[in-house]
């Protein structure tokens, strides 16, 4: 896969992962916020409804108590008593001691004349026969007026009760303290922008609102049809959306209006939205960064795996070539061995002829003898090479034979002597004469020694030294072989992987990574062990330990 293929795969993984991660996250975030918004809005509306109903109940109770108070006063005193202003003043004082909610008290006879008055205004002797409230009281018996200015020229409202005393009717009237009443209504104002006020059935303000106009002015954005219970509505007034809680009083056709600013009351919802958005953004960033990081890691691992696979394929191909080359070498060795045998035989025959024929006095006799001797020498030399090739190309399964470890080492070194000489590498040997014969597989031992010596030559490069030594550990009955070089050594982070299959420190194409792995396996099958010690810049030493096995002992030990 090329760089473009990896890039396309990278973006496919990123987009797919983000799609399956972010879409549920957004849906979850929206669901949480929407559910919280619905729940909190319902809670705010429920709170507004409770506040409105409680305030209506309190004001209804206030008005009912004032009516009951006036009714008690009227029916516990007679007209002749209450028309005495000194007596009426005492009654007013007693009433104010209980609840300072009245501004004045007045007695109006059945003709509408104000016959007695206690209060701050000059209202005595005024006639109310033509006033609407007078006729309402005479007709209904009790009356709570709307706010009006009247003779005082000042906004106020009154409560009046009719007293029927024999054939005489008279009215006890009181003016409610508007400050106290306003305070009762303002108790429903919530927060910095909340408002509460009362309007009559015509939409005229009966109390002074906080922001919504002046007393006795008209409110035109309310629907004034009579309804039962409490209504919670959302209205837009002057381009501002507000929540309205509305309910009609039971004691008077007045509408209590409580307003709240949603932006203020829903501040916790805004905080929750900010929190959800923050968590959402944080989660998105975390998912994106995590996806990019993990995808890069995966693609990196994939690239690494593909490269290792390419190296593995190359090594396997190289290994196959080496195996084929081994078979080819064995075939060549066999083919060469036969002519060499013929040449050897003919050389012997030529020697016999020279001995039988008396040609020693021939002028070229010495040259003939030297040529035959050289041919015989080089045939023996070629024979040794072919025998080594045949030994190296033998099967891998161990066979049992009596082995001289020192001789196997020497034969292997001879096989590499020319290459070492060419590179100016000195191979020093130190064979212990105490090393006994053992039962093992000389061909496989030779392969192990050849692999390690080859690695040593490659590590040294040029102008170096390789030391081969053997030692017999009599107490343990073990033969110890050490092969050391003064090359650059093996890095610490690689030394634990040196026997792994296909692991190599050589350049691509120059090593299969199988030599040491195979060597390790062979030594284990032969019942021995192999360890490596190395320091960077100080060289490397391979130590092989083989058991001394006599013919009557188990000949192969598997450490599996």
User: Residue 160 pLDDT more than 80?
Assistant: yes
Q: For 487, phi and psi rounded to 5 degrees?
A: -75, -165
Q: For 382, phi and psi rounded to 5 degrees?
A: -65, -35
Give yes or no for a contact between 488 and 459, defined as CB atoms under 8 angstroms apart: yes
Give yes or no for a contact between 435 and 405, defined as CB atoms under 8 angstroms apart: yes
Which one, of 373, 370, 352, 369, lies nearest residue 360 by Cα? 369
Measured between alpha carbons, how far is 530 from 492 in angstroms, rounded to an integer?
18
Tell me the two tokens of residue 462: 């040029």
- 507 pLDDT band, cuts 50/70/90, is low
Instruction: Tally the C-alpha atoms within 13 A of residue 467's C-alpha that lie toward its C-beta.
Output: 12
pLDDT at 33: 73
Tell me the two tokens of residue 398: 């161990």
Tell me the two tokens of residue 443: 């061909």
pLDDT at 358: 66
Q: What share of the chain is helix, strand, coil (3-state, %, to 5)?
A: 50, 20, 30
Measured between alpha carbons, how far is 445 from 427 in angstroms, rounded to an integer?
19
What does the pLDDT look like over 178-194, one tens digit per residue? 889 999 999 998 888 88
Choice among 51-55, 99-103, 322-326 with the minimum mean pLDDT: 322-326
Beta strand 230-237 pairing with 195-200: unpaired
- 558 pLDDT band, cuts 50/70/90, is very low
Q: What percent of the chain has pLDDT over 70?
A: 88
Q: Which CATH code is given to the segment(s) 1-265?
A: 3.30.450.20
pLDDT at 336: 80
If you write DSSP's letter for every residue of 380-443 in order, what string do you get?
HHHHHHHHHHHHHTS-SS---EEE-HHHHHHHHHHHHHHHHHHTT-EEEEE--TTPPPEEE-HH
Choice among 94-98, 135-139, 384-388 with the minimum mean pLDDT: 384-388
Q: Where in the chain is the domain with CATH 3.30.565.10?
A: 398-547
Give yes or no for a contact between 245 and 232, defined as CB atoms under 8 angstroms apart: yes
Tell me the two tokens of residue 251: 């004691």
What one-character DSSP code corresponds to residue 557?
A: B
User: Residue 509 pLDDT more than 60?
Assistant: no
What does the pLDDT look like over 162-176, one tens digit per residue? 999 988 999 999 999
User: Residue 473 pLDDT more than 50?
Assistant: yes
Which one, of 505, 459, 513, lies nearest residue 484 by Cα? 459
Tell me the CA distances in angstroms from 156 to 19, 200, 233, 293, 543, one per residue in order. Answer: 69, 14, 30, 76, 117
What one-character DSSP code corresponds to residue 207?
A: S
- 265 pLDDT band, cuts 50/70/90, is low
pLDDT at 535: 86
What does the pLDDT look like over 403-436, one tens digit per residue? 999 999 998 898 788 888 889 999 999 999 999 9
pLDDT at 514: 64
User: Residue 28 pLDDT more than 90?
Assistant: no
Average pLDDT, the chain: 84
User: Residue 230 pLDDT more than 50?
Assistant: yes
Measured between alpha carbons, how far is 526 from 413 in angstroms, rounded to an integer?
21
Torsion sign, CA atoms 493, 494, 496, 502:
positive
Q: Report CA 97 to chain centroid distance, whole Å.
A: 71
Measured between alpha carbons, how far is 195 from 259 in angstroms, rounded to an integer?
5
User: Residue 554 pLDDT more than 60?
Assistant: no
Measured between alpha carbons, how far is 357 from 352 in angstroms, rounded to an integer?
9
- Does the model's pTM come out above 0.75? no
Q: Report CA 493 to chain centroid distance, whole Å.
A: 32
pLDDT at 503: 64
Higher per-residue confidence, 535 vs 483: 483
pLDDT at 143: 95
Give yes or no for a contact between 84 and 164, defined as CB atoms under 8 angstroms apart: no
Cβ burial 248-275 (10 Å sphere, 16+ → b, else e): bbebbebbbbbbbbbeebbeebeebeee
What does the pLDDT look like over 299-309, one tens digit per residue? 888 888 888 77
User: Residue 74 pLDDT more than 90?
Assistant: yes
Determine the average pLDDT of the residues in 206-227: 88
Higher per-residue confidence, 250 vs 367: 250
User: Residue 391 pLDDT more than 90?
Assistant: no
Measured between alpha carbons, how far is 9 from 298 in angstroms, rounded to an integer?
10
Label residue 204 exposed, middle or buried (CB < 10 Å: 0-12, 13-18, 19+): middle
The architecture of the domain spanning 398-547 is 2-Layer Sandwich (3.30)
Q: Where in the chain is the domain with CATH 3.30.450.20?
A: 1-265
Which one, of 460, 406, 457, 441, lies nearest residue 523 by Cα? 441
Higher per-residue confidence, 434 vs 555: 434
Tell me the two tokens of residue 314: 């190359």
Which one, of 560, 334, 326, lies nearest residue 447 by Cα? 326
Q: What percent of the chain has pLDDT over 90?
A: 36
Please write down the HEC assignment for all residues of 457-496.
Answer: HHHHCCCCEEEEEEEEECCCCEEEEEEEECCCCCCHHHHC
pLDDT at 8: 85
């Amino acid at each position: 896969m090329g760089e473009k293929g990896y890039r396309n795969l990278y973006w496919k993984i990123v987009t797919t992962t983000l799609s399956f991660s972010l879409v549920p996250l957004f849906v979850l975030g929206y669901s949480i916020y929407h559910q919280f918004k619905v729940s909190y809005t319902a809670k705010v509306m429920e709170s507004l409804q409770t506040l409105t109903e409680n305030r209506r109940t309190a004001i209804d109770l206030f008005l009912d108590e004032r009516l009951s108070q006036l009714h008690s006063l009227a029916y516990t005193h007679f007209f002749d008593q209450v028309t005495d202003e000194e007596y009426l003043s005492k009654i007013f004082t007693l009433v104010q001691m209980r609840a300072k909610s009245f501004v004045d008290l007045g007695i109006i006879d059945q003709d509408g004349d104000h016959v007695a008055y206690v209060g701050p205004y000059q209202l005595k002797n005024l006639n109310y026969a033509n006033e609407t409230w007078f006729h309402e009281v005479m007709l209904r018996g009790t009356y709570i007026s709307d706010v009006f200015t009247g003779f005082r020229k000042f906004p106020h409202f009154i409560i009046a009760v009719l007293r029927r005393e024999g054939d005489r009717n008279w009215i006890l009237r009181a003016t409610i303290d508007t400050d106290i009443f306003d305070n009762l209504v303002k108790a429903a104002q919530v927060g910095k922008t909340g408002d509460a006020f009362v309007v009559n059935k015509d939409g005229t303000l009966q109390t002074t609102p906080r922001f919504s106009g002046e007393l006795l002015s008209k409110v035109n954005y309310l629907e004034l049809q009579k309804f039962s219970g409490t209504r919670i509505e959302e209205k837009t007034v002057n381009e501002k959306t507000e929540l309205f809680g509305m309910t009609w009083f039971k004691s008077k056709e007045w509408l209590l209006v409580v307003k709240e600013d949603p932006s203020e009351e829903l501040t916790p919802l805004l905080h929750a939205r900010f929190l959800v958005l923050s968590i959402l953004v944080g989660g998105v960033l975390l998912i994106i960064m995590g996806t990019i990081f993990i995808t890069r890691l995966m693609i990196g691992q994939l690239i690494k795996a593909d490269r290792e696979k390419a190296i593995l394929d190359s090594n396997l191909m190289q290994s196959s070539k080496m195996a084929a080359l081994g078979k080819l070498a064995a075939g060549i060795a066999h083919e060469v061995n036969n002519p060499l045998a013929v040449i050897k035989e003919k050389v012997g025959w030529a020697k016999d002829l020279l001995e039988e024929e008396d040609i020693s006095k021939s002028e070229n006799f010495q040259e003939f003898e030297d040529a035959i001797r050289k041919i015989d020498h080089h045939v023996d030399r070629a024979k040794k090479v072919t025998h080594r090739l045949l030994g190296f190309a033998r099967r891998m399964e161990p066979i049992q034979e009596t082995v001289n470890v020192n001789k196997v080492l020497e034969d292997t070194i001879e096989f590499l002597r020319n290459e070492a000489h060419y590179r100016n590498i000195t191979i020093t040997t130190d064979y212990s004469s105490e090393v006994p014969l053992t039962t093992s597989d000389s061909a496989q031992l030779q392969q192990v020694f050849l692999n390690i010596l080859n690695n040593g030559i490659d590590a040294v490069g040029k102008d170096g030294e390789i030391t081969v030594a053997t030692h017999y550990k009599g107490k343990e009955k073990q033969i110890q072989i050490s092969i050391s070089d003064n090359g650059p050594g093996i890095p610490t982070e690689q030394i634990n992987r040196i026997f792994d299959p296909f692991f190599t420190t050589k350049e691509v194409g120059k090593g299969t990574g199988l030599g040491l792995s195979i060597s390790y396996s062979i030594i284990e099958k032969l019942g021995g062990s192999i360890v490596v010690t190395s320091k960077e810049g100080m060289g490397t030493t391979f130590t092989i330990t083989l058991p001394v096995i006599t013919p009557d002992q188990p000949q192969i030990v598997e450490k599996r």
